Amino acid sequence: MALHRVIYITLFVIALALTQLYGGHFSSVIFLTVLAVPIISLIMAVIELFAVNVRLKGNIEVLARGDRLNIVIPTFNRFIFPCSSIVVNASMPDPSDKRNARLIFSLSPFQKRNLNLTFRTEYRGEYDLTIDKLIVYDVLKLFRLKRKLKLKKKVVVIPRIYDVTAGKELLPVYQDEQANKSAVDSPSGDKSFVRKYTDGDDIKRIHWKLSSKHEDYMVWQQSVGQETQVTMICDMKRYFEFAEENAAHSDAALEAALAAALLNAKRDTPSVICYYDAKEGNTRYININEPADIYPAAGSAASASVYSEGPDFADEVFSVIDRIGHGKTVILMTCKADEKLIKLTESISSECKVSVLVTGEAEKKIQDHMQNSTIVKFVSMNPYETKKEITRAVNDLCGTDTL
């Protein structure tokens, strides 16, 4: 653009010099033409600025962390002349603060065109995709005109879901046995599950109505009272000053919690994920009773502010356990990996099975103590190799027992 202005100023000076040197009719025409053309170009650019229509389709976009976000931006030129140089600025701030895009395009008279915008979703959360500015250049590239736009689209990036038993990411819709397993009320009024009949099952427990629907024998499976189990997932991101490191640790902790809850659900053991939501200012509880519950659970956790500014779980962990009841696994998020954690695990272990997973490295004396403990299962994981590390950590922590 600077070069175009230099060229125009040079032509203007030459045209002005010609009028001074020759003073003829032809030189005057040249000078007036050089003077009028940019004015006409500016007027056309002003019309183009308001003739171009830009929209965002839909109000919300939901996708999994790590997926590519593909956004379609419809544009339309309502002017009888072509718009040769148009620029749209789009942004979607995230912890890396690098999601900015500059789309440069042109439109023929009355042309409709869909622009494609792509972002890589590295961290979970709720973001606003914003198109705040439309820029139009005139034909001569002498003028740059701006128009403010207030276009927003909410983007929800959910945590990844891992099935550690199958080594799969983002599970498909459950079918076969898992789809046939449903929570219903048994004749005794207790909450039970219905599953396919296997050799050795009591024929009295056959659910005849459901069996006729599935064209296979289905039997009641009573929920068996179990010892409450507590899994503490310690998010170590509070030690870091950078938003990207905080986000990596937070995502790893949440995805480990979801993977553990999914594993429990596949073993008919309900789980409750508990964390302090700094945005809401209270403790949130996400129930996962069966595998299908993992998807809405991941959506609920997408915008979770899992930070350590909230109440210390050491003060409320027993009330959480009493509230949730026995026979479930309580998964507590964002516990501090310090001396309080050791005292807490020792006090809880008298009533519950306790396991601890740390994203990152705990203090050495804490880590040594936990690893040498005979009453607490302890595992740490690298938050930057999520799929591999979550699979290993949850399997190590779980073993052959329910986590």
pLDDT of residue 258: 92
Q: Tell me the residue type at 292.
A: A
203/80 Cα distance (integer angstroms): 79
Domains with residue ranges and CATH for the chain? 1-158 (2.60.40.10), 162-173+225-398 (3.40.50), 177-222 (no CATH)
pLDDT of residue 384: 87
- The SS3 call for residue 252 is helix
Question: What is the structure's pLDDT at 331?
Answer: 85
Measured CA angle at 268 (ends 266, 270), to 5 deg: 100
Place of tokens 């709720």: 126
Element (H, E) at 301: helix 294-301
**β partners of residue 200:** none
DSSP string, 69-133: EEEEEEEEE-SSS-EEEEEEEEE---TT---EEEEEEEE-TT-EEEEEEEEE--S-EEEEEEEEE
Q: What is the pTM of this model?
A: 0.73
In terms of DSSP bridges, do strands 144-158 and 60-64 run parallel, antiparallel, or are they unpaired? parallel
In terms of Cβ atoms closer than 10 Å to its own Cβ (0-12, 13-18, 19+), residue 118 is exposed
Q: Please give the backbone phi and psi of residue 341, each rounded to the nearest 5 degrees, phi first.
A: -65, -40
- Residue 65's SS3 state is coil
Angle (CA) 237-306-279 rounded to 5° is 130
pLDDT in tens, 233-288: 887 665 556 778 888 888 888 899 999 999 888 888 888 888 877 777 777 888 89
172-194 tens-digit pLDDT = 443 333 333 333 333 333 334 45
Q: What are the strands of the beta sheet with 182-185, ordered from one edge?
A: 182-185, 191-196, 218-222
Task: Give the C-alpha distances (Å, rounded to integers) separating 256 from 64, 132, 161.
Answer: 15, 37, 9
**What gap in Å lies between CA 325 and CA 402, rounded to an integer?**
17
**What integer pLDDT is reported at residue 95 of this predicted model?**
79
- Six-digit token string for 215: 């064209």
Q: How far apart are CA 25 and CA 67, in angstroms?
A: 66
C-beta separation of 15 from 27 below 8 A: yes
Residue 130: what pLDDT?
92
- Confidence at residue 296, expressed as pLDDT on a 0 to 100 scale: 87
All residue ranges of the chain with pLDDT < 50 are 171-193, 222-225, 400-403
Q: What is the pLDDT of residue 195?
A: 58
DSSP conformational letter for 141: S
Q: Give the H or E element holding residue 232.
A: strand 229-235
Token look-up 């622009």 returns 115
φ/ψ region of 334 (left if φ > 0, alpha if ψ in -120 to 50, else beta) reads left
| pLDDT for position 197 | 64
| Separation of alpha carbons 283 and 120, rounded Å | 31
